[in-house]
Structure 1
Amino acid sequence: LKKYNIPRDRVVILSKCFGPVDEENPTFGLFTQNQFPAIDYYNSQGLSRKHIFDAVQNSQRRLGTYIDVLQIHRLDPTTPKKEIMKALNDVVDQGYARYIGASSMKAVEFAELQYIAHANNWHKFISMQNYYNLIYREEEREMIPFCQKNELGEVGIIPWSPIARGILARPVGKESENKRDIKDKGITRLHLNELTKPEEEIIGRIQTLAKKYNVSMAALATSWVIGKKCNPIVGLSSVDRVDDILTATTIQLTEEDVKFLEDPYVANAAMF
């Protein structure tokens, strides 16, 4: 922002808290923490009041500016929900963040957190960052309906991985150019390393419609998510990818297109 003299109010900065961070140890992270003594990081993770404030203050220091939306990366089962919501409320009241949001969890858990905030006249979540794409639509059962219509107010939906870690961006069997399917542990955690027949069929249909509209498979799959009144989070590794994904906002899928993409779907076990 400073380099290009971009006004701060022209951008929205989101940050998260939950996972452990060690600025002095670059090898430490969410996927390597089991290699280090747990006692050293006990208070450096989760959603205790202490860690929420430590995390947001450190994020603000590193950013050099305030946070527009502070999201909790996951629900911490070891911390009382009321403590979590009170701490998040105070983070907003004290000016560290303008709003709060949440990420993948059970719909009933999210609803409980919202009602705790409502009952105490605290700030409520304005966003839900959930896992949602053409081959994982379990969020349509409870989370999305709750977010889009409830007595506490609508919650914005900002799905992560709208192209399923890149799986929906290329034909079945084709390796990713950056070898992400080999390096990314999330591929296995999300069961994307062993696709089912219905999932392969959906990918084939994405490819068919992408050719019809002369767009990339990634743009086509993302346009479907946008059509569900969601604002997907996209990962961009190059300038070309920025230009490509912007076409997702211009694709006008017909009702027949949507049905064509959705028909092969078979219910999955809930991941969160």
Structure 2
Amino acid sequence: MQYSVLGATGVKVSRICLGTATFGVAPTAQDADRVVGGAVDLGINFVDTADVYGNMPVFDRPGAPAAADREPAEQILGRALRGRRDQMVIATKSNGIVGLDINDRGLSRRHIIRQVETSLRRLETDYIDLYYAHDPDPDTPLEQTLAAYDDLIRQGKIRYVGLSNHPAWQVTHALWIADDRRQQAPVAAQVKYNLIDRAAERELAPACQQFGLSLVPYAPLHGGLLADLGVLDRDVAGDQRFGAAGFTEAEIAVGREVDRLGRAWGLAPYQVSLAWLLSRPAVASAIVGAETLDELRANATAADVELEPAQLDSLTELASAPAAFDHRAGRGPERPPSTTDPVSTD
């Protein structure tokens, strides 16, 4: 396993991060212990979860226990990490709806502090390594959110702060606020990013590179399409796992070409796709939502794959989405993004 430094923290995290969004469904609560133990054995020391993962109806699928009968993913993870918590860098987050009360959501000081305490109990730990704002909250000033995080860092309940699904301008604004008020600044940005969905390259990735934040992509295999074309034969694939749509024809075409190139290079599609993503500027670790231990073992091999420049260029050209600003050349794109480019806007 290879490792990267997370932002400016000095903390080294594995280039493959274990995602837990479907814990309790796939893997089941019983199998999750084996997956987490396997991650530790593979050298994976970075795990990603959230207060809303696992036991929400959006994760329902045939054959799995109903949402009301499932534990939160944090609770499953906390139990699986007993005796090995100190070997893992734990990231969790809040903002999603977690109850019926109107204030059981958002990034207010009230909700953040309550959810941090809840996550600490579920995870069976006294500190969280990396705590994300799961999504922007238009009802709460960013100043209030960052002040709450800074207080929690001073109390030792969280170590570092990150922003998830925030546009580049909000990440930059957060850095300005933290600098102006002498608070702890965000060290990482989490976003959907893969060979097909390249929206992060327009502004967020250059901003992270410029200001020293780590980019931590989720959905690095685009719902499994960039891992194995066998996913097309599954009853539940892609964002259908979360109640959304399946793959478009344009996305499937890219997946087939990745498969063809991988075979020509003697590599599996998931190795090609993850190695490409891990080569991108500012990317520290890719969150892999492996549903079985075998999937996790296979995906972990990508951390040791180093593609040649020509191979990287071939992959980049498959679903090219020009950046809004080329920070290296100091100029904008030569052409606007085309509506026919095979890039997901989900």
State the TM-score, normalized to the length of structure 1: 0.82
CA 16–163 in structure 1, closer or farther in 2 if over 3 Å, else same: same
From 261, 264, 272, the counterpart of 1:220: 272
Structure 1 residue identity aligned to 2:155: Q
Q: Which runs of 5+ in 1 are unaligned?
A: 23-39
2:274 maps to a residue whose letter is T
Aligned equivalents of 1:106 and 1:5: distance in 2?
36
Deviation at 1:78, TM superposition (A): 0.8
Aligned equivalent of 1:257, options 307, 311, 315 = 311
Structure having the higher strand fraction is 2
Counterpart secondary structure, 1:209: helix
Counterpart AA for 1:243: R
In 2: Cα distance, 1:58 partner to 1:271 partner: 33
Match of 1:83 in 2: 144
In 2, the alpha carbon distance for the partners of 1:204 and 1:232 equals: 22
Q: Secondary structure at the match of 1:243?
A: helix
- Counterpart secondary structure, 1:233: strand
Say whether residues 1:245 and 2:299 are aligned partners. yes
Q: CA deviation at 1:86?
A: 0.7
2:195 corresponds to which of 122, 134, 154: 134
Q: Distance in 2 between matches of 1:167 and 1:43?
A: 37
Which secondary structure does the structure 1 equivalent of 2:218 belong to? coil
Larger relative CO (CA 8 A, sep 6+): 1 or 2? 2
1:52 to 112, 121, 125: 112
* In the alignment, structure 1 residue 15 sits paired with structure 2 residue 73: no
Given that 1:170 and 1:217 are in contact with CA atoms closer than 8 Å, whether structure 2 keeps it comes out as: yes
Contact 2:197 2:345 in 1 (8 A): no
Whether contact under 8 Å (1:201, 1:264) holds in the other structure is: no
- Cα gap change, 1:182/1:145 in structure 2, threshold over 3 Å: closer, same or farther? closer
Counterpart residue number, 2:222? 164
Residue 54 of structure 2 corresponds to: none
In 2, Cα distance between the equivalents of 1:183 and 1:204? 20
1:118 match: secondary structure: helix
CA distance in 1 between partners of 2:309 and 2:239 (Å): 36
Q: Contact 1:20 / 1:41 at 8 angstroms: preserved in 2?
A: no
Which segments of 5 or more consecutive residues in structure 2 lack a partner in the other structure?
Answer: 1-77, 322-340
**Which shifted more, 199-208 or 115-124?**
199-208
Change (3 A) 1:242 1:213: farther
Change (3 A) 1:121 1:19: same
SS of structure 2 residue aligned to 1:121: coil
Distance 1:61 1:133, change over 3 A: same
SS at match of 1:9: helix
Counterpart of 2:166 in structure 1 is 105
Identity %: 28
8 Å CA contact 2:90, 2:128 repeated in 1: yes
Question: How much has 1:243 moved relative to structure 2?
Answer: 1.5
Please report how far the alpha carbon of residue 210 of structure 1 lies from its aligned counterpart in structure 2 after TM superposition. 2.0
Distance (Å, rounded) in 1 between the aligned partners of 2:106 and 2:239: 29
Q: Please, what TM-score do these two structures have when normalized by structure 2?
A: 0.65
- Which residue number in structure 1 is paired with residue 181 of structure 2? 120
Q: Distance in 1 between matches of 2:238 and 2:217?
A: 20
Equivalent pairs counted in the alignment come to: 246
Task: Give the conservation status (yes or no) of the 8 Å contact 1:171–1:203.
Answer: yes
Residue 64, structure 1, aligned to residue 141, structure 2: no
The residue type equivalent to 2:163 in the other structure is: A
Shift of residue 228, structure 1, vs aligned partner: 1.2
1:2 deviates by 7.6
1:209 equivalent in structure 2: 261
For residue 17 of structure 2, what is the aligned residue in structure 1? none
8 Å CA contact retained: 2:163, 2:188: yes
C-alpha distance in 2 between matches for 1:133 and 1:182: 14
The code of the aligned residue for 2:272 comes to: L
Name the CA distance, whole Å, in 1 between partners of 2:239 and 2:206.
35
CA RMSD of aligned residues (A): 2.5
Counterparts in 2 of 1:182 and 1:165: CA distance versus 1, 3 Å: closer
- More deviation, 122-131/224-233: 224-233
The question of whether the paired residues in 2 share the 8 Å contact of 1:175 and 1:181 is answered with: no
Q: What CA distance in whole angstroms lies between the structure 2 residues aligned with 1:63 and 1:4?
A: 8
8 Å CA contact 2:107–2:137 kept in 1: the answer is yes
Which AA in structure 1 matches 2:224? G
Asked whether the 8 Å contact 2:225–2:231 carries over to 1, the reply is no
Q: CA deviation at 1:182?
A: 8.0
